[in-house]
Amino acid sequence: MQKEHFPTVQNEPKYALVTGASRGIGRAIAERLAKEGFHLYLTCSQSANLLLPFAKDLADRYAISCVPFIADMGNCTDVERIFQQIPSLSVLVNNAGISYIGLLHEMTTADWQNIMRTNLDAVFYTSRLAIPLMLHDHAGKIINISSVWGNVGASMETAYSASKGGVNSFTKALAKELAPSGIQVNAIACGMIDTDMNQCFTDEDIEALRQEIPADRIGQSAEVAEMVVSLLHAPDYLTGQVIGLDGGWI
Ligand code: NAD
C-alpha cells in the first residue's frame, strides 16, 4: 500500500527558529507558532528591550520554552553560536530582513553588502546549519519570508529586489535538493505589509500604494503568520514554491 504523505500530529515537542522576531512579521509568526505549541528560538539584531520580554511573555502564556538571541543573522559566527544551542529543529523561518530605498548609482558598496548579507547570506547560514538537524528526523520545513519585488523588481529597490530574487531561487533549488530527504522549502512573497519597515513612506505614499492593490488595503503581519502555519499543515508534496501574499497586487 502506498505511504500517506500528509503531515501527522505528533506528541513529541517541536522546535522552531524564527529570525527577526522582535517586531513586525517575525513577531506575529512567533506568536502564531507559540499558539501552535512550538518551542521557540527567536532572534533579532539589537532590540533586546523588545525581544526579551516578548520571549518571556510567550513562554508564560503558552507554556513553551522560548529562547531569545540577540545576533546578527548576516554574521556567520553569530549564526553558528545560536545553532550550538539548538539540538533539534522542525521549522526554520528566515524572516530577518532590511530594506534600502535609493538610486542604485548612488548606493555605497557597504550598503549593497549589508542588504545582501542580511537578506540572502543569512538564509544560507541558517539553512546550512538547520539541514543536518532536519535530516536526522527525515522531516522539516524551511520557510523564507520574501517579497513580490524578488519576482518582479522595484525601482529604487534594486539591491533589495536582487536579494529577495536570490532568496526565491535559493528556495526553488534547495527544495529540489531536500525533497528526497522529506524536507520542504517554500517562500512567501509578501506584498505591502503594515510594519515599521514601511515607516519611511508618507501617508500619501501609502494611500497611493493602497489604490494599486486590488484587495484595497495593506496586508497585516498576522496574515503572513497564518500563511506560515498553512504551509506547516500543507501536504509534504508542496515544496519549492514562492507563494504570493499581496492582495492581488502583482
Ligand atoms: P521590520 O523592520 O519590522 O522587522 C525586521 C526584523 O528583522 C526585526 O526583528 C529586526 O531586528 C530583524 N533584523 C534585521 N536585520 C537583522 C539582522 N542582521 N540580524 C537579525 N535580525 C535582524 O520588518 P518586517 O516588515 O517585519 O519584515 C520582515 C521580513 O518581511 C523581511 O525579510 C522583509 O524583507 C519581508 N517583507 C516585508 C514587507 C513589508 O511590507 N513589511 C514586504 C515584503 C517582504
Q: 30-80, pLDDT tens digit by residue?
A: 999 999 999 999 999 999 999 999 999 999 999 999 999 999 999 999 999
- Give residue 110 CA to ligand 1 midpoint distance, Å: 19
pLDDT of residue 198: 95
pLDDT of residue 104: 98
Query: By C-alpha distance, which of 34, 26, 226, 246 is closest to 145?
Result: 26
Atom of ligand 1 nearest to the CA of 149: 43
pLDDT of residue 13: 86
pLDDT of residue 7: 46
End-to-end CA distance of the chain: 43
Which three cell numbers, joined as nine digits, stand for 204? 500619501
Cell 505591502 -> residue: 192
Q: What is the pLDDT of residues 70-124, one digit of tens each?
A: 999 999 999 999 999 999 999 999 999 999 999 999 999 999 999 999 999 999 9
Atom of ligand 1 nearest to the CA of 24: 26
- Give residue 96 CA to ligand 1 midpoint distance, Å: 5
pLDDT of residue 5: 53
Helix (H) / strand (E) containing 147: strand 140-147
The pLDDT > 70 percentage for the chain reads 96
Q: What is the pLDDT of residues 161-190, one digit of tens each?
A: 999 999 999 999 999 999 999 999 999 999
**In the predicted model, what is the mean pLDDT of the chain?**
96
- At 227, the pLDDT band (50, 70, 90 cuts) reads very high
pLDDT of residue 58: 98
Query: By C-alpha distance, which of 140, 151, 131, 115 is closest to 242?
Result: 151
pLDDT, mean of residues 21-34 = 98
Question: What residue owns the CA closest to ligand 1's atom 39?
Answer: 193
- Is residue 125 over pLDDT 60? yes
Atom of ligand 1 nearest to the CA of 78: 19
Helix (H) / strand (E) containing 126: helix 122-137
Residues contacting 12, CB < 8 A, separation 6+: none
Residues contacting 99, CB < 8 A, separation 6+: 157, 160, 197, 200
d(CA 91, CA 15): 7
d(CA 77, CA 98): 20
d(CA 148, CA 250): 7
Residues with active-site annotation: 160
- Give residue 20 CA to ligand 1 midpoint distance, Å: 6
Burial class (CB in 10 A: 0-12, 13-18, 19+), 107: middle
7 vs 122, higher pLDDT: 122
d(CA 93, CA 221): 14
- At 133, the pLDDT band (50, 70, 90 cuts) reads very high
Task: Please give the model's pTM, rounded to 2 decimal places.
Answer: 0.97
> Phi and psi for 101 in degrees, rounded to 5?
-120, 125
- Residues 147/171, Cβ–Cβ less than 8 Å: no
* Angle ∠(246,23,75) on CA atoms, nearest 5: 100
- At 12, the pLDDT band (50, 70, 90 cuts) reads confident
Query: By C-alpha distance, which of 142, 216, 213 is closest to 179?
Result: 142
- At 8, the pLDDT band (50, 70, 90 cuts) reads very low
> Phi and psi for 194 in degrees, rounded to 5?
-75, 90
> Phi and psi for 187 in degrees, rounded to 5?
-130, 150
- Is residue 1 over pLDDT 80? no
